[in-house]
Amino acid sequence: MSADAPVHGTAPRAPVFIFGSGRSGTSLLARMLDSHPAIAVPYESHLYNRIFPLVRDSDLTSAGAREHVLREILRMREFQYWTPRPSLETTLAAIRRPSFHGIVEALMERWTASRGKRRWGEKTPHHTLHWRTIREGFPDLKVVHIVRDGRDVALSFRYAPFGPKHVYQAAQHWTRYLASAEEAGAALGESAFLSVRYEDLIEDAPRELRRICAFLGEDYDPAMLEYHGRGVAYPTDARNSRNLASPVRGDSRGRWRAGLTSREQRIFEAVGGEYLRRYGYPTGEKRARISGWERISCTYIEHPPRRLFGMLTNRGGYGFALEGLRLSLTLRLGHFTGSP
């Protein structure tokens, strides 16, 4: 379908951002929303955590500078997975604001139009930590925040090709993302921020999706439950790919009970117990403790070798690091001259 294809519906709607820690069901929710006939959610973009910091102080008022930034964005490996691939020319022509936010807006709007839809969504877990910047660019945004039992998140990270490999670091990661999401929720208010528990979504997907659609001002469509049968490529690790290729499964909750040792459960609760209880997750000890020595051991003795092994076996991580270096050289160290 071309970028000039008819768009589903007419009036533009507020953009939708999916927030949440990695391994919390953000990909599942993105696939569900993307299956709605009016909403398009591409593969994660990493625009605000990887690109914005490099161009924050750049002058993007010239067309040449904007083209330079957009060219580098479209060279990122994430955008090789967008179907259809975004068009440089069409996106440039759609920019209405001479700023980074304007580039993002044009990119998302034109890609969404190429899908024959009228409303775009964005899912990059890292963007949860950049909600203030995103809000500045899109003050009318709607945020759907998905939260999952952090102990299952920690267990999932253990087998993922990225992320923390020790329960102590996983608990810190999970609480950091929840704290940022809660700050966003307090600032945006109930009209623009909705929290959804992953466990509730997989237990009764139609009910939760109806609630999400009501929040977004969209009609619920049963097609959202057929995300797994659309044959849309969504590059991720093998375990996540298998889950996304299947209907909603209830056995992906509570795995931490068998997967984490009693010590690991105690360590996680010592760090994240308050958040677990706040979101309705059962805990064992009300006041789980972790000693100063144990914190040192987790940080400097136990986690580093696990992290190193994960890095050595994560081939995709090498490409990610090299691309980060390229972007730094072309965007941060390069100077925009007004010509690409």
Q: In which band, very low, low, confident or very high, does the pLDDT at 325 lie, cut at 50, 70 and 90?
A: confident
Task: Kindly state the average pLDDT of the residues 262-290.
Answer: 93
pLDDT in tens, 68-99: 999 999 999 999 999 999 999 999 999 999 99
Closest CA to 153 of 136, 173, 137: 173
Q: DSSP string spanning 199-259?
A: HHHHHSHHHHHHHHHHHHT----GGGGGGGGS-------HHHHHHHTS---GGGSSTHHHH
Confidence of residue 188 (pLDDT cuts 50, 70, 90): very high
pLDDT-based confidence at 268, cuts 50/70/90?
A: very high
Which of 200-209, 245-254, 255-264, 284-293 has the lowest average pLDDT? 245-254
The contacts of residue 324 (CB under 8 Å, 6+ apart) are: 50
Per the prediction, the chain carries an average pLDDT of: 88
pLDDT for the residue 316: 57
Nearest to 48 by CA among 110, 116, 129, 109: 129
pLDDT at 337 over 80: no
Is residue 5 over pLDDT 60? no
Question: What single-letter amino acid sits at 41?
Answer: V
Residue 121: how many CB atoms within 10 A of its CB? 23
Query: Of 50, 53, 56, 45, nearest to 17 (Cα)?
Result: 45
Percent with pLDDT over 90 in the chain: 73
pLDDT recorded at residue 328: 84
Residue 225: the pLDDT is: 94
State mean pLDDT over 306-322: 64
Q: How confident is the model at residue 284 (pLDDT cuts 50, 70, 90)?
A: confident
Q: What is the pTM of this model?
A: 0.89
Q: Is the pLDDT of residue 312 over 70?
A: no
Distance of CA 238 to the CA centre of its chain: 18
- Domains, the chain, ordered by start: 16-332 (3.40.50.300)
* Per-position DSSP letters for 218-232, written without gaps between them: ----GGGGGGGGS--
Interhelix angle 167-188/262-278, rounded to 10 degrees, is 0
Does 8 have pLDDT greater than 50?
Answer: no
Helix (H, G, I), strand (E, B) or coil at 144: strand
At 9, the pLDDT band (50, 70, 90 cuts) reads very low
**What pLDDT, on the 0 to 100 scale, is given for residue 336?**
52
- Per-residue pLDDT, averaged over 17-43, amounts to 96
Q: pLDDT-based confidence at 339, cuts 50/70/90?
A: very low
Q: What CA–CA distance (Å, rounded) separates 148 from 28?
A: 12
* Nearest-angstrom CA–CA distance, 300 and 211: 44
Average pLDDT for 325-340: 66
pLDDT at 233: 54
What is the reported pLDDT for 12?
A: 62
Nearest to 143 by CA among 235, 17, 12, 34: 17
Question: pLDDT band at residue 248, thresholds of 50, 70 and 90?
Answer: confident
